[in-house]
Amino acid sequence: MVSVTPTPAPGSGSAPRRVALLTLGCARNEVDSEELAARLDAGGWQVSTDADGADVVLVNTCGFVEKAKQDSIDTLLAAADTGAKVVAAGCMAERYGRELAASLPEAQAVLGFDDYTDIAARLDGVLAGETFDAHVPRDRRELLPLTPVQRPAAKVVVPGHATVDEHTPAHLRQVLRRRLDDGPVASLKLASGCDRRCAFCAIPAFRGAFVSRDPQELLAEAEWLARSGVRELVLVSENSTSYGKDLGDPRALEKLLPQLAAVDGIVRVRASYLQPAETRPGLVEVIATTPGVAPYFDLSFQHSSEPLLRRMRRFGSTERFLDLLDSARELDMQAGARSNFIVGFPGETRTDVAELERFLTAARLDAIGVFDYSDEDGTEAAGMSGKVRSETVKRRYDRIVALADELCAQRAEDRLGSTVEVLVDSVADGVVEGRAAHQAPEVDGSTTLVADDVSGGDLTALCPGDLVRAKVVATEGVDLVAEPVEMVSAAVSAR
């Protein structure tokens, strides 16, 4: 498999056209940006992530919650201050379309997902002074068949799912992706969209119904990433536990994980975005026991009070969630687990908060994200009664965050004296930073490698991508400090 080769654009004999591609939000957006980068590269654009000197700044926005939307607006305004032409794309642009364009005259264009296939031509037009009418947002779930198994044949633009030649077997297709960094970790998009109807979430409306990618295409892309120096794959989607349901195989993820772990050069595969209600025993076993697959459970609990979960249009309870965690730890007692929680959802009572505290105390999670509830346009929860007063939400949020910080620090201390396998992310100024199997990139803390006091050791010999076995000797909050014991797998290409 090869990556897309750039082809000169008309008039390319003149000064090169430069675009800065700025990405906000989640890892799924990062994969989408790398598809856009490949398309722009093939269209004759010079692509970077630095706005300095760019002709156009393309911002791949996030539209998940209010803070993310504000970050997107701030980034677009800052881009306009550079003097470059500014284009908004991504989730916020897709979600708000004309409304965003009308409120943000600083942007020369607001592009939706349907523009991605012609992104180079769109930016050519922007640079030439053309104007584009922003789209009227629509529920993208309506673009795909209701029956999941009919969706793979539908001709709908789904970011991160682009196929260069659909008539070529999946494992022989070109990879429509250009990496925007050279780190040892990369996200691999399993699927897009979501069929769940959580009352607080607007994502399905602008991301669409759930669509899996072909497993052979994923394996081929994993091999391509490995050849570029990637050592850890992070599998991303809106709901990874649904992977394969539209391919007629609900156990597809269980089968795919060992295959990805066997790709030459890949030393760790990490699954993320698991729905507790769909996390079957077979999947738990594969994640917890397969060599090369991180025993790591990124479970979307959101709360643990059963009545409140029902109100959220979700399923589960404190006891069910604890049973799920126990089933993983019975297979690997050091298995990592993280989750996010919403505080202040409409109808939440003090009893609900106490139940959440009970769960968090018993769950022994390695990382906990806490969000204070806010109404989101177009969601069921926005119209619900029983709104919690803002001052009460803040008080509960502060209380749960403080508890979470304390519990996660305690969980890190539980790992003192244990042996962990650390993937080195960076080596700078004598400081070696990496992550153990229970630490996902950017969200779960990190591990600093230090030389032991007796034998010392040249840590500067380590390179990004090395996998090192190390003994945990100290903790700093959720972060670990560990002494290398032996090299498990060296990143040969880095030497």
pLDDT single digits (tens) 13-22: 467 899 999 9
How far is it, in rounded angstroms, from Cα 76 to Cα 22?
10
Work out the angle at residue 382's Cα, subtended by the Cα atoms of residues 313 and 347, and round it to the nearest 5 degrees. Answer: 60
Annotated binding site for [4Fe-4S] cluster: 26, 62, 91, 194, 198, 201
Nearest to 448 by CA among 412, 488, 480, 413: 480
pLDDT band at 64 (very low <50, low <70, confident <90, very high): confident
How far is it, in rounded angstroms, from Cα 419 to Cα 481?
11
Tally of CA atoms within 13 A in the half-sphere of 66 that contains its CB = 8
Average pLDDT over residues 389-400: 98
- Taking 3-state DSSP, the helix, strand and coil percentages for the chain, each rounded to the nearest 5, stand at 40, 20, 40
- Are the CB atoms for 134 and 107 separated by under 8 Å? no
Residue 419 CB neighbours (<10 A): 14
Structure tokens at 97: 């379309």
- Are the CB atoms for 293 and 287 separated by under 8 Å? yes
pLDDT band at 5 (very low <50, low <70, confident <90, very high): very low
What pLDDT, on a 0 to 100 scale, did the predictor assign at position 457? 61
Dihedral sign from CA coordinates of 237, 240, 243, 246: negative
Structure tokens at 461: 């010999």
What pLDDT, on a 0 to 100 scale, did the predictor assign at position 495? 46
Percent of the chain with pLDDT over 70: 94
379 pLDDT higher than 80? yes
DSSP codes of every residue in 156-216: ---TT---S-TTS-GGGSPB----S---SEEEEE-EE------TT--HHHHH-S-EEPPHH
Structure tokens at 270: 């990490």
The pLDDT tens digits for 341-350 are 999 999 999 9
- Are the CB atoms for 22 and 107 separated by under 8 Å? no
For residues 121 and 3, which has the higher predicted lDDT (pLDDT)? 121
Percent of the chain with pLDDT over 90: 85
Q: What are phi and psi of 155, to 5 degrees?
A: -95, 80
How far is it, in rounded angstroms, from Cα 411 to Cα 413?
5
How far is it, in rounded angstroms, from Cα 166 to Cα 155?
11
What pLDDT, on a 0 to 100 scale, did the predictor assign at position 494? 47
The pLDDT tens digits for 196-221 are 999 999 999 999 999 999 999 999 99
Structure tokens at 421: 């396998």
Q: Which segment of 109-123, 160-174, 210-224 scores lowest on mean pLDDT?
A: 160-174
pTM, full prediction = 0.92
Task: Kindly report the average pLDDT of the chain as a whole number.
Answer: 92
How far is it, in rounded angstroms, from Cα 382 to Cα 307?
18
pLDDT band at 161 (very low <50, low <70, confident <90, very high): confident
Average pLDDT over residues 355-370: 98
> What is the identity of the amino acid at 340?
N
What pLDDT, on a 0 to 100 scale, did the predictor assign at position 7? 43
Dihedral sign from CA coordinates of 136, 141, 142, 143: positive
Highest mean pLDDT among 13-17, 157-161, 235-239: 235-239
What pLDDT, on a 0 to 100 scale, did the predictor assign at position 150? 92
What pLDDT, on a 0 to 100 scale, did the predictor assign at position 14? 62
Q: Which segment of 29-33, 152-156, 402-406 scores lowest on mean pLDDT?
A: 152-156
pLDDT band at 2 (very low <50, low <70, confident <90, very high): very low
Structure tokens at 393: 């939400």
Structure tokens at 394: 């803040």
How many separate helices (H) and strands (E) can be counted in the chain?
13, 18
Structure tokens at 472: 């945990």
Structure tokens at 75: 């980034």
Average pLDDT over residues 46-62: 95
Q: Is 408 helix (H, G, I), strand (E, B) or coil?
A: helix
Q: Is 371 helix (H, G, I), strand (E, B) or coil?
A: strand
The pLDDT tens digits for 295-315 are 999 999 999 999 999 999 999
What pLDDT, on a 0 to 100 scale, did the predictor assign at position 9? 45
Q: Which residue has the tokens 């470059």?
A: 84
10 pLDDT higher than 50? no
Buried b (16+ CB within 10 A) or exposed e, 41-57: bbbbbebeeebeebbbb
Structure tokens at 187: 């996200």
Nearest to 400 by CA among 443, 339, 469: 339
What pLDDT, on a 0 to 100 scale, did the predictor assign at position 6? 42
Annotated binding site: 26, 62, 91, 194, 198, 201
Q: Which residue has the tokens 């394996």?
A: 219
> What is the identity of the amino acid at 211?
V
Buried b (16+ CB within 10 A) or exposed e, 357-379: bebbebbebbbbebbbbeebeeb
Determine how β-strand 232-236 pairs with β-strand 268-271. Answer: parallel
Q: Torsion angle of alpha carbons 205, 207, 208, 211, nearest 10°?
A: -150
- Are the CB atoms for 180 and 34 separated by under 8 Å? yes
How far is it, in rounded angstroms, from Cα 58 to Cα 60?
6
DSSP codes of every residue in 215-231: HHHHHHHHHHHHHTT--
How far is it, in rounded angstroms, from Cα 201 to Cα 342?
11
pLDDT band at 89 (very low <50, low <70, confident <90, very high): very high
